């Protein structure tokens, strides 16, 4: 229940779960104060697990407040739909792969540079000349 004069409205799409979190987010976005009261409350949460209805309300909360994610609630954290979490994970993996590719390319450039210095050295040129002499067919 909320007073009629409040701009806050209970969103029926939440069903039985997370309507309080939605009301707090509405208040915050309207610049209204949000407080938590340390008061005795009987709650049926003995199992420690959330059911399908709770997960459905999480999805509604994620869609409605996507710009505020992640949301850390009493028994869960809402990061968004699975597609969003997957995209974030894939983006993180892509960034790591690009960083690794840049590291490998830099190492390859160093190796190529070192190899060009070796091939330009006098010792390498002499080695090539000696090898050329040794590889010639023997004269009879």
Residue 44, phi then psi, degrees to nearest 5: -85, 80
Q: How far apart are the first and last CA of the chain?
A: 111
- Kindly report the pTM of this predicted structure: 0.54
Q: Answer whether residue 99 shows pLDDT above 70.
A: yes
The arithmetic mean of pLDDT across residues 45-51, rounded, is 64
Which pLDDT score is estimated for 115? 94
- Bridge partner list, 71: 78
- CA-based angle 107:121:109, to the nearest 5? 15
Report the candidate in 10, 87, 22 with the shortest Cα–Cα distance to residue 59.
Answer: 22
Q: How many CB atoms are located within 10 Å of the residue 126 CB?
A: 10
How far apart (Å, rounded) are the C-alpha atoms in residues 6 and 1? 11
Which pLDDT score is estimated for 81? 67
- Of 12-26, 30-44, 123-137, the range with the highest mean pLDDT is 12-26
């Amino acid at each position: 229940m909320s007073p009629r004069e409040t701009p806050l409205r209970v969103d029926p799409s939440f069903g039985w779960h997370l309507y309080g979190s939605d009301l707090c987010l509405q208040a915050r976005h309207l610049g209204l104060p949000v407080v938590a009261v340390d008061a005795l409350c009987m709650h049926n949460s003995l199992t420690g697990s959330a059911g399908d209805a709770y997960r459905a309300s999480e999805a509604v909360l994620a869609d409605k407040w996507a710009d505020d994610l992640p949301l850390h609630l009493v028994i869960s954290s809402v990061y968004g739909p699975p597609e969003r979490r997957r995209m974030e994970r894939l983006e993180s993996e892509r960034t790591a792969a690009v960083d690794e590719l840049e590291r490998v390319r830099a190492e390859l450039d160093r190796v190529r540079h070192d190899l060009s210095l070796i091939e330009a050295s006098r010792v390498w040129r002499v080695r090539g000349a000696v090898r050329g002499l040794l590889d010639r067919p023997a004269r009879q």
